[in-house]
Amino acid sequence: MRLIFAGPSLHGADVRIRQGTQLRPPAAKGDIRLAVEEGANVIGLVDGYFETTAAVWHKEILHALSCGVRLFGAASIGALRAAECAGFGMTGIGAIYEAYAAGLIEDDAEVALLHAPRELGYAPLSEPLVNIRATLERLLGGGLIDDRQLQALLGAASSIFYKERTWRAILAAARLPADERVRIGELVRRSRIDQKAIDAAALVRAVEQADDVRLAGAPAWEFSHTAYFGMLATQR
């Protein structure tokens, strides 16, 4: 069984989930362990809850890997957990994962955003910093903005609470002349990069190409079953 935990990151992705791959809502604590118990052989972790409920545990990721489950992470909490658990066999995918793995970004707030509920397709309602960085770097690389403008916009974006972070709010808060803010706003509308969607689409391809069987043999490390981890089974 193949399955993917995703929500807002896939909202703008140009991807179609093939028959045979389950798409589940963003993961919360215990969801990966439950998927393992249900027989999942391949799991893709993209989005997960972190504020309204406890986030996915590292321990349940390690449990999945110890059971031979092929586990991929990208785009959002999946990229963060993949960077943290790569040494145990979790596979990270995409530019956001690479930035976490290289230490270029560290804060989980880099991928945080506000989104609509499941009934509205988890549509993003704010802009994550990883998308903002990707968009501004494209504009800088194309000579459309300079480093002074880049730093002013990144500074403004970083100062805004993630639920309120939109391009409109960023441009309003940036310490730049009004004509520059207007021009940059037009550039963003034409050249915005949704790095989360790009990475999430890459994860979908990786999950669907992976063999739908668990890895044979024990890992080079030993998973420690603790009483606290065992409580997960009674909390669902």
* pLDDT tens-digit series, residues 36-87: 999 999 999 999 988 777 889 889 999 999 999 999 999 999 999 999 999 9
Predicted pLDDT of residue 213: 95
Distances (CA, A) of 48 to 34, 55, 150, 180: 15, 7, 30, 37
pTM score of the predicted model: 0.92
Predicted pLDDT of residue 236: 52
Predicted pLDDT of residue 14: 80
Residues paired with residue 48 on neighbouring β-strands, in sequence order: 27
More confident: 95 or 16: 95
To the nearest whole percent, how much of the chain has pLDDT over 90?
Answer: 78
Residues paired with residue 27 on neighbouring β-strands, in sequence order: 48
Q: Are 163 and 50 in contact (CB under 8 A)?
A: no
Neighbour count for residue 195 (Cβ, 10 Å): 23
19, two tokens = 């028959």
Q: Would strands 42-45 and 2-5 be described as parallel, antiparallel, or unpaired?
A: parallel
List the alpha helices (DSSP H) in the chain. 31-38, 58-66, 77-85, 94-101, 129-141, 147-159, 167-173, 178-191, 195-209, 227-230
Predicted pLDDT of residue 233: 61
Distance of CA 55 to the CA centre of its chain: 13
**Which of 15, 33, 19, 26 has its CA nearest to residue 71?**
33
The three-point CA angle 167-113-194 to 5° equals 60
75, two tokens = 């785009």
To the nearest whole percent, how much of the chain has pLDDT over 70?
Answer: 97
Euclidean distance between CA atoms 212 and 137, whole angstroms: 38
Predicted pLDDT of residue 218: 73
Predicted pLDDT of residue 217: 80
* pLDDT tens-digit series, residues 166-187: 999 999 999 999 999 999 999 9
Residues paired with residue 72 on neighbouring β-strands, in sequence order: 44, 91
Q: Would strands 70-74 and 91-93 be described as parallel, antiparallel, or unpaired?
A: parallel
Which residue matches tokens 């009674």? 234
